[in-house]
Amino acid sequence: MSIVNSIRAQLVPINREGYPFIAVFAVISVILYILWVPLGWFGAVVTLWCAYFFRDPPRVTPTRDGLVVAPADGRVSQVTNAVPPPELGLGETPLPRVSIFMSVFDCHVNRSPVSGRIARMVYRPGKFLNADLDKASEDNERNAFLIESAGRRIAVVQIAGLIARRIVPFVREGRDVAAGERIGMIRFGSRVDVYLPEGAPPLVAVGQIATAGETLIADLAANRGSQTYRVD
């Protein structure tokens, strides 16, 4: 039993959303192998990639009031000021926005950037443009969260991409979430935007690689130098 547990400990967990896809690819691989062995090996590679795509590794999230962590794995594609989605009711004043682009090789499980309550969650159908484009934040299919945290409001927007065809939320409106908690995922290549409170300076730069639940993207505390944070 200890050997089995040891092996399990070395394997990266797979999110349950991926099991149907992995099963389908595995069955197809067997059929292709019967028809022609090289095709079967190709199918096996695709099946392994599918399992890799749906990986859901544990993360260690820094916790302290005011810290904002990345909601997604991937490359920081934009750090700018932009008007948040109108469905969240945050007004028309541009807010600091950090955009993280997830390629098909990044983990696509999204996490809450802060602890708080999901005050609003709104799904909007739309197009499937390249998620790296600026206009994707307005035109593409999206699912937006408004999280109230210690008197502050932070918005998280899941944006479908060129080949992404489904946004899957794991939480509901009105629920409390912890920083780093899983809130959803997007299939298969997409982007996540975080809108910070007005005047909050982002701590990341364009081109930086972010890790969901771990990379700090902002510190909303008034006096950062005199405070410390803990890792639970």
- What are phi and psi for residue 42, nearest 5 degrees? -60, -45
- Report, as an integer, the average pLDDT of 186-207: 90
Mean pLDDT of the chain: 85
Which of 137, 149, 190, 226 is labelled catalytic? 190
pLDDT, average across residues 92-106: 93
Mean per-residue pLDDT, 120-143: 75
Query: Is position 190 annotated as part of the catalytic site?
Result: yes
pTM above 0.75, yes or no: yes
Mean pLDDT of the 32-51 span: 90
Look up tokens 């067997």; give the residue. Answer: 30
Q: Mean pLDDT check: name the lowest of 54-63, 121-130, 166-175.
A: 121-130
Does the pLDDT at position 225 exceed 50? Answer: no
Q: What are the tens digits of pLDDT across the range 57-86? A: 999 999 888 999 999 999 999 999 999 999
Q: 55 or 4: which carries more pLDDT confidence?
A: 55
Kindly report, residue by residue over 114-126, the tens digit of the pLDDT.
999 999 999 988 7
Confidence of residue 56 (pLDDT cuts 50, 70, 90): very high
Give CA–CA dist 181/187, Å, rounded.
19
Q: What is the pLDDT of residue 135?
A: 62
The amino acid sitting at 67 is L
Taking the C-alpha atoms of residue 192 and residue 110, their distance in angstroms, rounded to an integer, is 8
Q: Who contacts 208 (Cβ-Cβ below 8 Å, separation ≥6)? A: 75, 76, 215
